[in-house]
Structure 1
């Protein structure tokens, strides 16, 4: 169940991702103590505009893939110095946040 406290807990982790780095949905879920809830993180991020400005563009899937259809994500990451691999993927070995 989504409650405000959980939403802000997820968004506060997203806020910590440094510029020029990315985190995965699963990584964020693990950081809040909900290892199996990567999809919940995705759901919260899809609603983040209702809670303020957060760097959601820094979150990718477990393979480093960008959000399909969100073309601004690649632009925002490139602005921060993240070089994309082919097929709109981020090299997690190079850019993943080591938290």
Structure 2
């Protein structure tokens, strides 16, 4: 099955649109799930490497990117707000959004 290629900028735009605020407003905000959602989408659905994600997300180390994605899947996965946001982002990117489960 072919996957649609998406770019980091498209993922960020979709998350911004979903949250109703700019990347700069939420990317470094403590406790905000927006950055981690963008990292998850770009890793799982766009196939970006942890190292590349760290660079484009503002200079994060690849291990910090990995932990952010794991934390997002572990702690935020069942939040109604995050489920809706995740679905909207995937729909904005034409990637589908129903039944998405974390990859182990």
Q: TM-score range by the shorter chain?
A: 0.3 to 0.5
- Relative to total residues, which structure has the larger helix share, 1 or 2? 2
TM-score between the two structures when normalised by the length of structure 1: 0.39
TM-score between the two structures when normalised by the length of structure 2: 0.37
- Relative to total residues, which structure has the larger strand share, 1 or 2? 1
